[in-house]
């Protein structure tokens, strides 16, 4: 844990704030809500359950948590949610490059129109800080590694275009209305509560679910495609640091890469997951993946330069890929045991 994060945590415990977390029933949002409540904050959760789950929300009875079931495409609901809020952590979105290629209009409505609704609602409500989830997909066809915030390429999917648009609108609202914003470009986040079900599930939970059922996993391409995988607790740290960066400082009104600054190929990732799961089920240890053609819109390699986040936010990833996978696999295995039907439910 960085010295800055420890200091910020202590400050928040001493003087709690009121937070709005959109996408609160989703993977990253629910982890943010959990951390905020554990550290004495007042939280408003906002979700329409398009991809999130009620089981991810806090148990009933916590007076510090209020939930609004609504859609970010509803401007009135966004205005209601922002009322009396100090800080917005905007995580609600429709992820997945393949989903956006299949349905670009809905991706735009949720990711772009929804974000603009919240930016305007936050501005009108006098919110002090607006932190929003962007994505490494904004780098598009920019070939240089590692990815540096000021060099982006051509978007390769509607999802990537929607995240580029979010960054543009955030900058416009900042310039025109003086709302302080910070964008966080996430690089392949993984961890507890990431849903393995559905056609657009991320690679790690999808492979975990398949392996626990003794099914063959699919790798798109030759397996040498690489990503900068980032454990969810690192992302929670980044959101809190961004929310608490000093007002009117050089840290605000910028975008930051949030990752570990490392590359892992899909072949390496598969072996790391399989070997960990084989410790509890030896049959998994002999399972080999199948290979299919690369998917449209996927980039070949991705790795983040995280020096800007370290310098301006005090961000320091605590968990590398190996440590994050240790924790993640333990969580999925426990979920499978609890469900009593191995592989049927993990989130």
Which residues are catalytic, by number? 159
Pairing type for strands 226-227 and 42-47 reads unpaired
Stated as kind and residue range, the H or E segment containing 67 is: strand 65-69
d(CA 230, CA 226): 13
Stated as kind and residue range, the H or E segment containing 265 is: strand 264-265
d(CA 185, CA 135): 4
d(CA 84, CA 127): 8
Evaluate whether 164 touches 207 at the Cβ level (below 8 Å).
no
**Taking Cα atoms as reference points, which of 182, 148, 151 lies closest to residue 305?**
148
**Secondary structure class of 181 (helix, strand, coil):** strand
**Taking Cα atoms as reference points, which of 280, 269, 259 lies closest to residue 332?**
280
d(CA 155, CA 226): 18
Pairing type for strands 264-265 and 226-227 reads antiparallel
């Amino acid at each position: 844990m960085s010295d800055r994060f420890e200091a910020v945590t202590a400050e928040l415990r001493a003087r709690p704030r009121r937070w709005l977390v959109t996408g609160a029933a989703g993977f990253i949002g629910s982890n943010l809500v959990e951390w905020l409540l554990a550290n004495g904050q007042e939280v408003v959760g906002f979700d329409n359950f398009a991809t999130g789950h009620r089981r991810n929300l806090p148990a009933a009875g916590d007076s510090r948590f209020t939930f609004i079931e609504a859609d970010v495409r509803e401007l009135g609901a966004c205005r209601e949610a922002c009322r009396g809020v100090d800080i917005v952590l905007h995580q609600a979105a429709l992820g997945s490059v393949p989903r956006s290629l299949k349905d670009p209009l809905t991706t735009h409505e949720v990711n772009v129109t929804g974000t603009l609704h919240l930016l305007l609602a936050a501005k009108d409500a006098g919110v002090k800080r607006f932190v929003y989830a962007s994505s490494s997909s904004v780098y598009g066809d920019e070939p240089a590694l590692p990815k540096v915030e000021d060099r982006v390429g051509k978007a390769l999917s509607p999802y990537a275009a929607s995240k580029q648009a979010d960054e543009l609108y955030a900058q416009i609202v900042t310039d025109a209305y003086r709302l302080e914003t910070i964008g966080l470009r996430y690089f392949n986040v993984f961890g507890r509560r990431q849903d393995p079900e559905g056609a657009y599930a991320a690679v790690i939970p999808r492979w975990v679910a398949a392996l626990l059922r003794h099914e063959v996993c699919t790798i798109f391409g030759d397996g040498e495609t690489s990503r900068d995988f980032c454990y969810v607790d690192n992302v929670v740290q980044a959101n809190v640091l961004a929310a608490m960066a000093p007002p009117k400082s050089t840290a605000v009104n910028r975008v930051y890469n949030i990752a570990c600054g490392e590359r892992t190929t899909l072949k390496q990732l598969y072996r790391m997951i399989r070997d960990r799961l084989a410790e509890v089920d030896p049959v998994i240890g002999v399972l080999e993946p199948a290979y299919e053609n690369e998917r449209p819109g996927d980039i070949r390699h991705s790795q983040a330069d995280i020096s800007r986040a370290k310098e301006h936010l005090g961000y320091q990833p605590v968990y590398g890929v190996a440590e994050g996978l240790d924790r993640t696999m333990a969580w999925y295995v426990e979920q499978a045991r609890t469900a009593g039907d191995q592989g049927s439910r993990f989130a």
